Amino acid sequence: MKTTNKKTLWWSIAIKVVVFGILLFALYKQVYLNENVHAIPEQFLSIGAGKAIGYGILLVILMIMNWGFEAWKWKKVIDNITPIKFIRAFKAVWTGVTLGLFTPNRVGEFGGRILYVPRKFRIKGAIVSLIGSFSQNLITVIAGIAGLLWYVYAIEKIDLLVTGALALVAVIAVILLLLAYYNLDVMVNLFRKAKFLKRIYPYTTVLGDYSANDLSRLLLLAFLRYSVYAAQYLILLNVFGAELSVMTGLAAIAVIFLAQTVVPSFAIADLLTRLPVAALILSKCDVSLQISLAATTSIWILNLIIPAIAGYIFIIRFNIFKNRQS
């Protein structure tokens, strides 16, 4: 028994060291060597020390709200399986951010979160976590489509008839996505004969335990989180001198978020994907490349890098192999 405990202890330490090494490499490669990052403090302070401090505090509060809504959303999803305290859900979410840095489209976030769920509920927990992810992506897609339609008509000046045709296709797509979201158990049943679902199919029945009200509440939390994130981006763009109107800014941001959701990437290299996409879209709104780079890099550091560092602190204090029942 003692030998087993020692082995799991060493495995736990080894995993934490590897995660620390990758995190350190990511910070060195994407932050320390990034010239855009070095220019941000000077650009931010150019608005005046008092304003910079005020905006800095506001942006940090919004960052905590952003992940707070995500933790609340995940707690609501997991509570149907096993009750979890909000503070534990928050730790789980930030731990997931850390582990998600090293996986495509941050799928490692699920693994980080599931560590905080008792072992006997982890398979079901991983499955129902997809509901929270689906709700967030659904809001991003709906907002992105709305922003895209406004963007192509008001900024790209595309013909009204073409815009109308795009709107019709968009409405049909949104309706289909909403039908899939509110009928997840039906969707799973359609694919129950698929080989890759055979082993986990018995666990997917838990998807039928969520009522339409439950799913609507998750969508509301996803919308609140999206709104906070978009507000952060708009504030940063204007702080750096973009002078965008609320409507134009939100439409451009919606298109950027939509593009980032569709294009797969590793969170470590996420900035390499974000920068050209954001620069291209914002350039149509007369936003300079310098401002676009500064705002996009800042939002990346604020909402991914800082939480990832905090998440590693939780990983250090967490016994990876001990969490069986609590």
Q: Rounded to a whole number, what is the distance in angstroms from the first to the last CA of the chain?
A: 20
- For 11, half-sphere exposure in the C-beta direction (CA atoms, 13 angstrom radius) is 10
pTM over 0.75: yes
Give residue 315's identity as a one-letter amino acid code: I
Phi and psi angles of residue 262, each rounded to the nearest 5 degrees, phi first = -75, -40
pLDDT at residue 316, rounded to an integer = 81
pLDDT at residue 326, rounded to an integer = 45
Q: Tens of pLDDT along the chain (326 residues)?
A: 445 466 677 777 777 787 788 778 777 776 777 777 778 888 888 888 889 999 999 999 999 999 999 999 999 999 989 999 999 999 999 998 888 877 766 777 888 888 888 888 888 888 888 899 999 999 999 999 999 888 888 887 777 787 788 889 889 999 999 999 998 877 777 666 666 666 777 777 788 889 999 999 999 999 999 999 999 999 999 999 998 889 999 999 999 999 888 776 555 555 666 778 888 899 988 899 899 989 998 998 899 888 988 888 888 877 665 544 44
pLDDT at residue 101, rounded to an integer = 76
pLDDT at residue 324, rounded to an integer = 44
pLDDT at residue 325, rounded to an integer = 42
CA distance 103 to 268: 8
Query: What is the DSSP secondary-structure string of 66-96?
Result: HHHHHHHHHHHHHHTTS---HHHHHHHHHHH
CA distance 254 to 261: 11
CA distance 326 to 324: 6
CA distance 50 to 295: 19
158-187 as b/e, with b when 16 or more CB fall inside 10 Å? eeeeebeebbeebeeeeeebeeebebbeee
Helices (H) then strands (E): counts for the chain: 13, 0
Asked if 144 and 254 touch (Cβ cutoff 8 Å), the reply is yes
How many other CB atoms are found less than 10 A from the CB of residue 31? 16
102 Cβ contact partners less than 8 Å away, ≥ 6 residues apart? 22, 26, 108, 266, 267, 268
pLDDT at residue 175, rounded to an integer = 93
| Residue extents of the structural domains in the chain | 2-316
pLDDT at residue 1, rounded to an integer = 46
